[in-house]
């Protein structure tokens, strides 16, 4: 519907995209905690999408960066803020910058400064640099893109893209909260649409479901279901060419919210639901998120009023005294030093159990007994952490080395009528509801307009309600700071909201230490490259067939090199090309859903590159070829670019081969 409000735009908005894909081979993936899940290639490149929202009337702006990453750590936030300060002075600070992750479990790890998350990788400078460089690139482009824009907000419902993976814990919550979520899922999907000169130029969608459609058996880098949703809207619908369009006409981010207990695996087991194919499930769950967002975007969306504002605070979550107003039992309590429970080592059954077979969700009798003995002699520990069966006393381990973070940022930003509470953890839907209501009550806002921006700025694992915590499922056992962690965050959220409402500042506090100087990079230099005996780099080892019917899969193997020599950030390792009269036209690269780029080690330090293209059912008949691009470091030589081209093959759309 046309906008009947002729008033000029109040806000300025800039938006941009950049590539943040890390090392594509032999790097442990982050998310499932499975040591042997290491990268072997790319299915979908990972992207950073930056949005600057400014209100010139009050001279304030916020920067929202949605990243297709497993997690955001303080390592990334600190370095990004350092680089932004060098480039823009005090324009972008820890208070008005929100870095958030979609929580894909199919991205390379090794970019944290806390040891727990680098266990199977060590610290990987190349992946760290790819992430930071990409984020900075996206922010610089968004900053330059700033121009008058209209902001529009709408809410919808999506009920077939998530399932509660910890129903026993959810069912412990009060009846009123369970009635609010009758299907034990949070169906709210929220869309912020950005218009310029009457045309949509961007959108940010929030919906709660884990990015775990791809299972822990997958080793190809992928943005998972939210990555596919963004790719589909931008590339398939709007025609964005990621290689050719550094400043695209449309940017769509699918952001995460309170997804702590929300799984996309609708059949209750990893990689299952709605089909038995995890790649197809990723596409379907992404499409469902896109379709609801697109329907909202195509309907009537009222223009948003309101200003831009922000507040943030650093909190030592291991030592928060929580007033009786928030604890629920009319008593004051205190959070405790971080501790991992037995069920945390079991993993989440719906999404991917860990390799620790001796642990399970719920009760773990041996560890239960040991913890009960400890609680008997430590009343303060018992009040904070019981009934958790403590396996790893994180506070004690932190004295040996920085394993988990204790001082973390909590943030509240206002974008017109929308409020985002930045929490550095995985918040369950009921915990999210309590936080949202806390903020809404202080600000007098519509509760639907207050969202949890989980996975923001740092990482503390999970946030459950005290009732859910008592069940000690995976999420409760991973609520590191104990039973009163959520009430502590509610108290902090109320303080931020009160300061925003009253126009006051939030007292400064001690920040998390910068650990960049204490990192020891992993021994990650790729080996020297040798082509297979009898071949040169770029040779085709396994040729395509002469012809394929449209919709069939084309596979080509090349004599290649280790992909970590050059990450090809902002570029590609492959191209699928169609002959167009006297020229070759590129129709797909390694960022396309239809392609996969896979590396494997061959004999005598050689590398085999397998490129697969699933030709679309409506592919244009004609002559095609597949090209490979890499970088080799032969003996006694610097890095040199290499390339290979397959023989031509034909795509036809009938049985005759025409």
Considering the domain architecture, whether residues 448 and 562 belong to the same structural domain is answered as no
Q: Give the model confidence (pLDDT) of 314-324 as tens digits.
A: 999 999 999 99
Give the separation between CA 71 and CA 102, rounded to whole angstroms.
8
Catalytic residue among 48, 263, 312, 606: 263
> 10 Å Cβ neighbour count for 543?
12
In the numeric block, the tokens 């429970």 are attached to: 341
- 129 and 34 within one domain: yes
Q: What is the 3-state secondary structure (H, E, C) of 365-381?
A: HHHHHHHHHHHHHCHHH
Residue bearing tokens 């899969």: 553
**Is the pLDDT confidence value at 521 over 60?**
yes
352 pLDDT tier (thresholds 50, 70, 90): confident
pLDDT > 90: percent of the chain: 88
- Name the nearest CA neighbour of 236 among 612, 651, 626, 592: 592
* Per-residue pLDDT reduced to its tens digit, 356-389: 777 988 888 889 899 999 999 999 999 999 999 9
In Å, what is the CA distance from 104 to each residue of 33, 69, 179, 255? 13, 6, 30, 11
Identify the sign of the CA torsion 481, 484, 486, 490: negative
CA dist 253 and 240 (Å) reads 14
List, in sequence order, every residue forming a beta bridge with 269; answer none if it has no partner. 272
Give the DSSP letter of residue 102.
-
Query: For residue 125, with 0-12 CB atoms within 10 Å meaning exposed, 13-18 middle and 19 or more buried, which class applies?
Result: middle
Residue 416, both tokens: 């017109």
Mean pLDDT of the chain: 95
Look at residue 156 in the predicted model and tell me its pLDDT: 98
Work out the angle at residue 265's Cα, subtended by the Cα atoms of residues 238 and 263, and round it to the nearest 5 degrees: 85
> Is a pLDDT exceeding 90 seen at residue 605?
no
Same domain, 548 and 461: no
We report the CATH number of the domain holding residue 593 as 2.60.40.2300
Question: What's the mean pLDDT in 280-288?
Answer: 98
pLDDT at 321: 98
Q: Where are the alpha helices (DSSP H) in 426-566?
A: 429-443, 466-471, 474-477, 485-502
User: Which of 115-119, 153-157, 579-583 has the highest mean predicted lDDT (pLDDT)?
Assistant: 153-157
* Section 545-562 average pLDDT: 98
Across the range 624-650, mean pLDDT stands at 95
Long-range own/partner contacts, residues 320-324 (CB < 8 A, 24 or more apart): 320/481, 320/484, 320/488, 320/491, 320/492, 322/484, 322/487, 322/488, 322/491, 323/491
Produce one character per residue of 46-79: b if its CB has 16 or more CB atoms within 10 Å, e if not. Answer: bbbbbbbbbbeeeeebbbbbbbbbbbbbbbbbbb
239 in helix, strand or coil?
Answer: coil
Q: Are 283 and 223 in contact (CB under 8 A)?
A: no
Rounded mean pLDDT of 162-172? 98
Alpha-helix residue ranges (DSSP H) falling in 300-447: 324-327, 365-377, 379-385, 394-400, 429-443
Helices 125-144, 74-88: axis angle to 10 degrees equals 40
Planar angle of CA 534, 537, 542, nearest 5 degrees: 70
Query: Quick check: is 263 catalytic?
Result: yes
Specify if 385 maps to a domain: no
What is the average pLDDT across 437-444?
98
* C-alpha dihedral sign at 78, 456, 227, 116: positive
CA-nearest of 44, 140, 109, 27 to 523 is 27
**The two structure tokens encoding residue 71:** 């997690």
Q: pLDDT tens digits for 124-138?
A: 999 999 999 999 999
Residue 166 falls within a domain, yes or no? Answer: yes
Residue 339 belongs to a domain: no
Decide if 39 is inside a domain: yes
Q: Are 31 and 103 in contact (CB under 8 A)?
A: yes
Average pLDDT over residues 146-171: 98
Q: Where are the beta strands (DSSP E) in 241-393?
A: 251-255, 262-263, 308-316, 321-322, 333-334, 340-341, 347-348, 352-353, 390-392
Note whether 60 and 203 are same-domain residues. Answer: yes
Q: Are residue 459 and residue 544 in the same domain, yes or no?
A: no
Give how many domains the chain has, as a whole number.
2
Does 559 reside within a domain? yes
> What is the spatial distance between Cα 595 and Cα 628, in angstroms, rounded to a whole number?
12
Decide if 478 is inside a domain.
no
pLDDT tens digits, 78-120: 999 999 999 999 999 999 999 999 999 999 999 999 999 998 8
Name the β-bridge partners of 463: 427
- 298 and 182 both lie in a single domain: yes
Would you say residue 2 has pLDDT above 50?
Answer: no
Tell me which of 140-149, 198-207, 457-466, 520-529 is least confident.
Answer: 520-529
What pLDDT is recorded for position 656?
53
pLDDT at 4: 45
Token pair listed for 132: 């930071």
Q: Are residues 454 and 550 in the same domain?
A: no
How far apart, in whole angstroms, are the C-alpha atoms of residue 212 and residue 265? 8
Cα–Cα nearest to 298, from 225, 226, 191: 191
Q: Mean per-residue pLDDT for 542-556?
A: 97
Is it the case that residue 655 has pLDDT exceeding 90?
A: no
Structural domain for 236, as ranges: 11-306+405-433+444-465
Retrieve residue 308's tokens.
């831009």
SS3 405: coil
d(CA 298, CA 405): 42
Instruction: Give long-range contacts, CB 8 A cutoff, 24+ apart: 175-182.
Output: 177/430, 177/433, 177/434, 180/433, 181/429, 181/430, 181/433
Determine the 3-state secondary structure of 52 from DSSP.
strand
Angstrom distances, CA of residue 466 to CA of 107, 330, 331, 473:
32, 14, 14, 12
Confidence of residue 202 (pLDDT cuts 50, 70, 90): very high
* pLDDT tens profile 471-515: 999 999 999 999 999 999 999 999 999 999 999 999 888 999 999
Number of C-beta neighbours around residue 641 at 10 A: 13
Of 355-359, 461-465, 643-647, least confident by mean pLDDT is: 355-359
29 and 113 in a single domain? The answer is yes
163-194 burial, b if ≥16 CB within 10 A, otherwise e? Answer: bbbbeebbebbeeebeeebeebbbbbbbbbbb
Domain assignment present for residue 485? The answer is no
For residue 353, being part of any structural domain is answered with no
Mean per-residue pLDDT for 457-461?
98
On whether both 29 and 148 belong to a single domain, the answer is: yes
Please report the pLDDT score of residue 322 as a whole number. 98
| Rounded Cα–Cα distance for residues 527 and 375 (Å) | 51
For residue 658, the model assigns a pLDDT of: 56
Looking at the structure, do residues 455 and 594 belong to the same domain, yes or no? no
Distance CA(26)–CA(590), nearest Å, equals 18
- Which of 140-144, 211-215, 340-344 has the weakest average pLDDT? 340-344
47 close to 74: Cβ distance less than 8 angstroms: no
| Average pLDDT for 17-33 | 96
Token digits of residue 101 = 């992750």
Q: What's the pLDDT score for residue 1?
A: 39
Is residue 78 domain-shared with residue 169, that is, in the same domain? yes
Looking at per-residue pLDDT, the higher value among 396 and 276 belongs to: 276
459 and 604 part of one domain: no
Global pTM?
0.97
């Amino acid at each position: 519907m046309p906008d009947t409000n002729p008033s000029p735009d109040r806000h300025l908005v800039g938006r941009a995209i950049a590539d943040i894909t890390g090392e594509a081979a032999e790097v442990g993936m982050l998310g499932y905690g499975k040591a042997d899940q290491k990268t072997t290639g790319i299915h979908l490149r990972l992207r950073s999408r930056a949005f600057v929202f400014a209100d010139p009337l009050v001279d304030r702006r916020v920067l929202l960066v949605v990243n297709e990453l497993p997690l955001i750590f303080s390592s990334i936030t600190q370095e990004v803020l350092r680089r932004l300060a060098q480039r823009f002075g005090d324009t972008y600070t820890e208070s008005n910058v929100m870095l958030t992750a979609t929580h894909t479990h199919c991205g390379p790890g090794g970019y944290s400064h806390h040891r727990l998350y680098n266990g199977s990788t060590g610290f990987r400078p190349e992946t760290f640099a790819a992430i930071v460089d990409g984020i900075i690139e996206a922010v610089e482009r968004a900053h330059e893109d700033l121009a008058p824009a209209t902001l529009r907000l709408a809410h919808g419902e999506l009920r077939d893209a998530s399932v509660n993976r910890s129903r026993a814990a959810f069912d412990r919550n009060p009846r009123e909260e369970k009635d609010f979520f009758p299907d034990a899922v949070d169906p709210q999907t929220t869309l912020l649409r950005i218009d310029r000169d009457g045309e949509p130029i961007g959108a940010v969608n929030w919906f709660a479901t884990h990015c775990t459609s791809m299972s822990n058996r997958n080793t190809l880098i992928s943005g998972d279901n939210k990555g596919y949703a963004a790719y589909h809207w931008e590339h398939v619908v709007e025609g964005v060419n990621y290689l050719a369009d550094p400043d695209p006409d449309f940017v769509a981010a699918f952001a995460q919210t309170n997804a702590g207990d929300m799984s996309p695996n609708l059949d209750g087991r990893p990689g299952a639901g709605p089909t038995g194919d995890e790649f197809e499930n990723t596409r379907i769950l992404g499409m469902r998120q896109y379709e609801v967002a697109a329907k909202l975007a195509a309907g009537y969306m009222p223009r948003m009023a309101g200003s831009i504002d922000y507040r943030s605070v650093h909190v030592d979550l291991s030592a928060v005294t929580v007033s009786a107003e928030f604890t629920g039992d009319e008593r004051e309590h205190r959070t405790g030093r971080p501790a991992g429970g037995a069920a945390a080592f079991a993993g989440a059954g719906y999404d991917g159990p860990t390799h620790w077979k001796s642990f399970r969700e719920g009760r773990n009798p041996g560890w239960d007994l040991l913890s009960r003995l400890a609680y008997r002699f430590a009343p303060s520990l018992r009040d904070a952490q019981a009934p958790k069966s403590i396996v790893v006393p994180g506070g004690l381990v932190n004295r040996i080395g920085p394993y988990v973070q204790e001082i973390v940022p909590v943030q509240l930003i206002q974008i017109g009528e929308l409020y985002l509470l930045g929490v550095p953890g995985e918040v369950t839907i009921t915990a999210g509801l309590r936080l949202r209501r806390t903020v809404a009550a202080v600000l007098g806002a519509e509760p639907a307009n207050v969202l949890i921006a989980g996975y923001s700025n740092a990482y503390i694992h999970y946030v459950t309600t005290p009732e859910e915590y008592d069940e000690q499922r995976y999420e409760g056992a991973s609520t590191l700071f104990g039973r009163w962690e959520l009430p502590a965050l509610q108290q902090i959220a109320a303080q931020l909201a009160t300061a925003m409402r009253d126009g006051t500042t939030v007292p400064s506090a001690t920040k998390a230490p910068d650990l960049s100087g204490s990192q020891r990079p992993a021994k990650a230099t790729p080996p020297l490259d040798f082509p297979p005996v009898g071949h040169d780099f770029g040779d085709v080892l396994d040729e395509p067939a002469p012809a394929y019917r449209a919709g069939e899969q084309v596979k080509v193997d090349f004599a290649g090199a280790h992909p970590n020599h050059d990450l090809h950030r902002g570029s590609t390792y492959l191209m699928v090309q169609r002959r167009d009269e006297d020229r070759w036209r590129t129709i797909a690269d390694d960022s396309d859903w239809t392609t996969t780029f896979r590396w494997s080690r061959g004999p005598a330090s050689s590398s085999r590159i397998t490129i697969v293209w699933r030709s679309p059912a409506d592919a244009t008949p004609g002559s095609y070829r597949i090209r490979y691009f890499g970088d080799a470091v032969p003996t006694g030589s610097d890095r040199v670019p290499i390339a290979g081209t397959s023989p031509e093959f034909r795509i036809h759309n009938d049985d005759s081969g025409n």
